[in-house]
Structure 1
Amino acid sequence: MLSIKVFFPPSIPSCHAEERMQDQARQEVLEAMNLSFLRLDDLDVKQNMAFVLGEIYRFVEEWENKSP
C-alpha cells in the first residue's frame, strides 16, 4: 500500500547547514523504516504545478512497478 505524506520544507539554499543535517538525519531514520522520499523544490511547487504533478505521477508509477 502506498501512503503519501507531503512536507514542504524551505528551499535548501535558504536553510542553514545544521537544519540540512537534521533534515538528512530525519530522512535516514524514515528510510530505515522502508519509507521513500520524493523531494521537490518549493519554487516548483509554487510556480510549476504541472511539473510537480508529473514528478509525483512518475514516483508513484516507479513505486508500483517495484512493489509485488
Structure 2
Amino acid sequence: MSKREEKELAVPVSTPSGESAYSKAQFLASSRYTPAQRDILDAVLEDGKKYTDNQAKQALGTYLRKELK
C-alpha cells in the first residue's frame, strides 16, 4: 500500500452538512460491513469519489432490492 493510500484510509472528509465522507477504499477496509457487503460496495461505489455512511448504505440497499432478471 502506498503512502497516499495509507493517508487516504486515515482521514475522512467533512461535507457541507457536517457529515464525514469517506473514499471507496475506506469503506472496503471498514469492519462495519460484512465481507459480502464490502464486495457489493466495491462494485457499486466509484473510485475517487467520497461518500457519507448514509450514501453507502443507500447504494447497498438499492443494489440488494434490485429485481433479478
Settle same-fold status: TM greater than 0.5.
no
Structure-2-length-normalised TM-score:
0.33
TM-score (norm 1): 0.33
Structure richer in strand, relative to its length: 2
Larger radius of gyration: 1
